[in-house]
Amino acid sequence: MTSGRRLALVAMCAAAATAGGWVWFASRFPSRVMVGTQAIGAWVPPHYQASVLPVFGAYVGALGIDLVSGNRTAWVGRAGLVGIVSTIAGLRLSGWIGLSGHAVCCAALAAESMVRWKRTESGLVVALAVIGLVVTGWYKLGVWGDRGWFFASVAVGVGLGLACSMWGRRQHDDEGEVAG
């Protein structure tokens, strides 16, 4: 697959995830804003909920392309990271943890993509992650006063992204040793 075609498919995945998420969140009753694990007297707007979906859609789309093409060294760390950030988001939605699912996801996907910069879609993923972090930061820091959990979430996300990037790289190195 050409890099232009790959980038276009990844961008379409980002757009589809965003559109689908926007419809989903706009059609549902909004959830309460959580600062840490405590609900405050505010409602989460649909555009905030959907702000993580462009980067997540792009990243999962690239993972899907790698899976279909059989490129195991590219998808091992990426699949692990998707599983981890999805688990954190689920725990956050259930109120079990105070970490921001949005901040963890955006920071993790950006960090992993910056380390693995040679991939065609890395620049797009990083740009979408930064936009998601700006929206998340605006609300967490400026509107809801959730400073501690926001910064902790970014730190956890960066750590996860770096760890999964090294995990994917180690899988690549281990396969090279077996093949060589």
Per-residue pLDDT of 5-45, as tens digits, reads 999 999 999 999 999 999 998 898 888 999 999 999 999 99
Q: Is the pLDDT of residue 150 over 90?
A: yes
What's the average model confidence in pLDDT over 92-106? 94
Q: Which of 7-16, 117-126, 152-161, 167-176 has the lowest mean pLDDT?
A: 167-176
Q: Which residue has the tokens 């990844």?
A: 10
pLDDT value at position 118?
Answer: 82
Give domain limits for the chain.
3-179
Residue 145's Cβ-count burial label (10 Å; 0-12, 13-18, 19+) is exposed
Whole-number percent of the chain with pLDDT over 90? 73
Residue among 141, 177, 37, 159 nearest 104 (CA)? 159
Read out DSSP for 31-44? PEEEETTEEEEEE-
CB 170 within 8 A of CB 116: no
Tokens of 125: 């993923």
